[in-house]
Amino acid sequence: MNSDFLVPLLLPLAAWPVARWMAPRLSPRAGSWLLTGGALVLALGSTAALAVQAAAGLSLIPAIAALGRFSPAAFRGSDEVDVPLSIACGLVLTGVAFALVRAALRYRRWHRRVHAELDTHRRGAGVILLPGAEPVAFAVAGGGGRIAVSSGMLAALEPRERRALLAHERAHLSLRHHYFAAAVTFAAALSPLVRPLATAARFSLERWADEAAANHVGDRRLVATAVAKAALASAPNSSYALAATGGPVPRRVLALLSPKSGRRSLAALAAAAVLAVCAWSAGTALDAAADFHSGIEIAQHSDRP
């Protein structure tokens, strides 16, 4: 089981080169789906591998073996158990569970805090107007979806640019991008090694919203100008909110100003690479679980005490 155990743990290392090579070659929509799905599968695969190895060690405890009606002595003699490795995996899995719970609680606190703040401000034309000179604009799920824009951001943009910026934020809500963002956030909590995929996925989400806004206003250059001016006027956004100023803005602006790429063969190759890595991770994790189950069954039918 050791080889099956190692593959899902090491495959997330492929997230670094895959994210760097693939992100610019896929359409924003396809990139968002593939990168988010890839981050989830790789994170769940590594977590499953840790869980199987930790469960193998726990199965040596007589009380747990009695519940499964098998001989812990017989199971100890199988190839499925490496006690020191099982202990280490149990400790790592405990840390993973703590990180996941911490990420979920932080996300929940942030979500409640943002909505509590937005409830104190007036809403006009479907947009919550925030007072203050600091340029701020973002979209947040909940309450039917909310878009918040500050007076400072409105002052930094021309009327047509404001329309493009709001189209970008509305695209985040209508395309349900908050589900993608939450998924990659929790995937990165499960496995820090998939953070490059999570970062690339958030970039694809912003690009997806850029393209949706460009289709809405009918002017890619206008969206590029609005995004660039909003980013220059505002401070870097480090919250969970989806915002037009998120991600590497120069790359987004360049993509909007460049003609759409027709390199379908490269995009297909990039998608195939991600799917292959994900399938390998999921398959080896399932194989490890199957080996563990087979070891339990053998121990159940053993005549040894």
Q: How many CA atoms lie less than 13 Å away from 105 in the CB half-sphere?
A: 6
Query: Over the stretch 92-144, which tens digit does the pLDDT of each residue have?
Result: 999 999 999 999 999 999 889 888 888 888 776 678 888 888 888 898 887 77
In a domain, 67, yes or no: yes
| Number of domains the chain contains | 1
Start-to-end C-alpha separation, the chain? 24
* pLDDT score of 303 more than 50: no
In a domain, 305, yes or no: no
CA distances from 266 to 26, 131, 205, 276, 278 (A): 8, 46, 20, 15, 19
* pLDDT score of 232 more than 60: yes
* pLDDT score of 28 more than 80: yes
Structural domain boundaries enclosing 126: 2-300
CB atoms within 10 A of CB 260: 8
* pLDDT score of 305 more than 50: no
Higher-pLDDT residue of 247 and 47 is 47
In a domain, 268, yes or no: yes
In a domain, 249, yes or no: yes
Query: Over the stretch 58-71, which tens digit does the pLDDT of each residue have?
Result: 776 666 666 656 65
Structure tokens at 120: 């104190």
In a domain, 51, yes or no: yes
3-state helix, strand, coil in the chain (%, to 5): 75, 5, 20
**Residue type at position 22:** M
In a domain, 113, yes or no: yes
